[in-house]
Structure 1
Amino acid sequence: MKTRKLLIVFLLAMTSAAYAQISEKVRLNGYSSFEYEYLLSNEGESDPNGSFDADLIDLVINVDLSSKLRFSTDLTWEHGAASEDNRGNVAVEYAFPEYTVKNWLKFRVGKMFVPFGIYNEIHTAKPAFLAVKEPLSTNKPDKLGGDERFYPRWATGISVLGTFLIKSMQFEYHVQLSNGNQENTNPFEEDDNGEKALATRLLAYPTPDLKIGISTYSDKISVLDGSGNDTGERDKLFSMSGHIEYSHNNYGAEFEYIIGKTDFFASPELKKNGLETMVYYTLKDKFTPYVRVEFFDPNQDVDDDNVNIFSLGLNAEVDRNYFVKLQYNSVNSGDLNSDILGVGFSEFQAAVVLGF
């Protein structure tokens, strides 16, 4: 899967050998995804109608203003976006200038993905990962009975990042200070309190085949009264993730575990955790079957509310950067889960994905 590795490098670092060179300074890349979902069981939280979904098309634009200054943005149109009909979604996924002092010291300001775990920075870039969708247990736990996600998708603020070596071992770091998440104001325009959210991630590469990462996210959320006014009190949010990615020759594996805690001002603290692991093997550099297992506990103090997901899939590269994905999911939960409600179900998912 050499092509996939090249694409992932681009989607993470916004540079690639395969791009549309509009001019000496402007590069254009992107990706699209067309999906299908069908509920195989008599009931459950999937789609009983077998619906097609024009999931997204993203355009990634990089402008090299100088040898040290780059501007990068990702523009997305989701679910057949048609604003006149109030359908779908149009969004700026990120937009920031990046200034490089040295490889170990870069600065970004603007709207950015929160640097957390394996998937958040590539969650729209469907060619960059094997499965039809990113794992819900670590990325969208609010769809599995969670009160909210472990961290927000995006943030507006300042980032410091870079790469460095210690005794020939490569490391990457990312520190991001932002407005955080809130309900009563636009967090990409202003902050509703003086506290700032802090996201950190450190990646280590002990060998070329192995990557180990640790991520954290902390924030203080304003507590509002019945009229939507700030009471001056704060709910404290903290999440931490550890993940491992391994790829050697034709086989590979990944593992991520997240713990989250919210200290509520007016109620007991909430602890939750999510886990995802996947193994895969590539045949003839084109066909990659994979097995993924997920677990999510929305409240460690409540029994019988956990969710378990087993996925079996196949990713086929039918042409350069053009993939067909087929996936079977089996979802089960305890009776007290607020979304699944103890009703286990199975579903079939498929996607046609292009990266360019």
Structure 2
Amino acid sequence: MRKKGIFFIINERRSKGKLLLISSFFLAFAGLHNSAQAQIEEKVRINGYSSFEYEYRLSDEGNSDPNGSFDADLFDIVLNVDISSRLRFATDITWEHGTATEEGIGNAAVEYAFPEYTIRNWLKVRVGKMFLPFGIYNEIHTAKPAFLAVKEPLSTNKPDKFGADERFYPRWATGISVLGNFSVNTINFEYNVQVSNGYQENTNPFEEDDNTQKAIAARLLMQPIPGLKVGFSTYSDRITELDDTTGEDTGERTKLSSFSTHAEYSVGDFGLEFEYITGKTDPSDPTDLKKDAFEGMLYYTLKDRFTPYFRYEYLDPDKDVEDDTANMLSFGLNTLVDKNYFLKLQYNRISSGEANARFNAVDFSEFQAAVVLGF
């Protein structure tokens, strides 16, 4: 009995030792896990947004949706990683229109991906794929919680959906940006200068350039008084002209240039914005194309929750062609349902000239709605 008792005591001590060892392991793992989690929470910021939309054409005819369709418009994840006090990495990944690659529907894309190194507040450097720094909406066009209307203005931001042959500038670019902010007396300034591969048809502009010229984009923002922001943007590029038969580089270049000015002003619950863009496409042959566009918005916020707005858009896709213009009047209501959760309701009235390639003088009205979340 004594030997069995001793054996039992030894086994019990061994069991307690194993239990202590296992417990120590799990406690150490939990400590490492908590430490890693704390580091991740300190260095990594995850944000995003989603938009669910509805569109219905109210008129018998017109270039809009007669069926009253729902649209899982987009879901974006925005990731910022603070690698050091000076270096961060930023990316935005989007899934649009119910992306399902196995079914071949929707769209998945990297909106931007770049490291940003801060030398001073007035001097930062980015390299990678970026939005073009142009106007009010291009850098926020997917961030639906960032603006009042259901969609960004078509006339200035998507003129190819408003009767123009092409946009005033590319949506994205791959290259190098130098940007920053500074103050002179009481006036605050922000600037962004970007050099990129530019637009091209026969190669991937995010991988290689098809000519030696580089596209240049620049934007300057000023805040002369509280509540007022004034901006100027420019874009210039030299696009390779291809042979119609062989698809080879002809050695000739089409000059593309655009310029915009815009302003945003808010005082109390009242606000307004406007943007004007003019662009020119000048190929090697004598024929050039000039176009311009305008958008303006007025809004007023009630009880910090309800914001009715009025917006007007105008596009002339070719200054040398008569009766090709298009315009849109929009009346809408943006309601803050909960924190960063919005319901948008909007009525549009679209009219155009007979020579407009998109609408062909068929005037119509439509209703749009969106449920938008930011997190």
Q: TM-score, normalised by structure 1?
A: 0.94
Paired position in structure 2 for 1:65? 83
2:224 counterpart of 1:203: no
Match of 1:279?
A: 298
Q: Establish whether residue 156 from structure 1 lines up as the match of residue 187 from structure 2.
A: no
3-state SS, counterpart of residue 223 of structure 1: strand
Q: Deviations over 1:22-80 (max 9, x none)?
A: 52111100000000000000011110000000000000000000000000000000000
Q: Distance in 2 between matches of 1:221 and 1:22?
A: 44
Size of the alignment, in residue pairs?
Answer: 337
For structure 2, the 5+ residue unaligned runs are: 1-37
Deviations 1:175-227 (A, max 9, x none): 00000011100000000000000000000001120000000000000000022
SS in 2 for 1:137: helix
Q: Which whole-Å CA distance do the structure 2 matches of 1:347 and 1:265 have between them?
A: 41
The separation in 2 between residues aligned to 1:157 and 1:109, in whole angstroms, is 6
> Are 2:321 and 1:330 equivalent residues in the alignment?
no
Task: Tell me how far 1:296 sits from its aligned partner.
Answer: 0.1
AA matched with 1:191: D
Residue 246 of structure 1 aligns with an amino acid whose one-letter code is Y
Q: Deviations over 1:299-353 (max 9, x none)?
A: 0011100001000000000000000000000000000111100100100000000
Q: Which has the larger radius of gyration?
A: 2
* Deviation digits for residues 150-197 of structure 1 (CA, Å, limit 9, x no counterpart): 000000000000001111210000000000011100000000000000
Alpha-carbon separation, structure 2, partners of 1:227 and 1:112: 32
Q: Distance in 1 between matches of 2:285 and 2:100?
A: 42
Q: Which residue of 1 aligns with 2:282?
A: 263
Out of 63, 67, 70, the residue aligned to residue 45 of structure 1 is 63
Is the 8 Å Cα contact of residues 107 and 159 (structure 1) preserved in structure 2? Answer: yes
CA drift of 1:298 comes to: 0.3
Opposite residue 56 of structure 1, the aligned amino acid is L
* CA distance in structure 2 between the aligned counterparts of 1:222 and 1:172, rounded to whole angstroms: 32
**Secondary structure, in 3 states, of the residue corresponding to 1:207?**
coil
For 2:360 and 2:115, the matched residues in 1 are separated by 45
CA distance in 2, matches of 1:324, 1:59: 21
Q: Does 1:216 align with 2:234?
A: yes
Q: Match for 1:154: what amino acid?
A: W
SS in 2 for 1:84: coil
Secondary structure at the aligned position of 1:23 is classed as: helix
Contact 1:223–1:235 (8 Å) recurs in 2:
yes
Q: Distance in 2 between matches of 1:185 and 1:267?
A: 26
Q: Does 1:343 align with 2:359?
A: no
1:266 is displaced (CA, Å) by 2.6
Within 2, Cα distance between the matches of 1:332 and 1:155?
33
Q: Could you tell me which amino acid in structure 1 is paired with residue 232 of structure 2? A: I
* Larger relative strand fraction: 1
Structure 1 residue corresponding to 2:189, chosen from 171, 176, 182: 171
2:203 alignment partner in structure 1:
185
2: CA distance, partners of 1:22 / 1:182: 39
Which residue identity does 1:352 align to in structure 2? V
Secondary structure of the 1:24 match is helix
Higher-helix-fraction structure: 2
Q: Aligned partners of 2:327 and 2:159: how far apart in 1? A: 12
| SS of corresponding position for 1:327 | strand
1:23 matched to 2:41: yes
Partner of 1:253: 272
Give the whole-Å Cα distance in 1 for the aligned partners of 2:132 and 2:368: 27
Q: Give ranges in structure 1 of 5+ residues lacking alignment.
A: 1-19
Query: TM (normalized to structure 2)?
Result: 0.89
Alignment correspondent of 1:130 = 148
AA aligned to 1:337 is N
What CA deviation, in whole Å up to 9, does each residue of 1:90-116 have, x standing for no partner? 000000000000000000000000000
Q: CA deviation at 1:21?
A: 9.2
Distance in 1, Cα, partners of 2:81 & 2:53: 31
1:235 and 2:269 matched: no
Q: Which amino acid aligns with 2:154?
A: L
Alignment counterpart, residue 100 of structure 2, candidates 61, 82, 91: 82
Tell me, yes or no, if structure 1 residue 314 matches structure 2 residue 333.
Answer: yes
Q: Secondary structure at the match of 1:47?
A: coil
Identify the residue that residue 53 of structure 2 maps to in structure 1: 35
Q: Secondary structure at the match of 2:164?
A: coil
Distance of 1:93 and 1:23 partners within structure 2: 24
Would the aligned equivalents of 1:21 and 1:27 in 2 still touch at CA under 8 Å? no
Q: Which residue of 1 aligns with 2:164?
A: 146
Q: How many Å separate the matches in 2 of 1:275 and 1:27?
A: 36
State, as a whole percentage, how many aligned pairs show the same letter.
Answer: 70
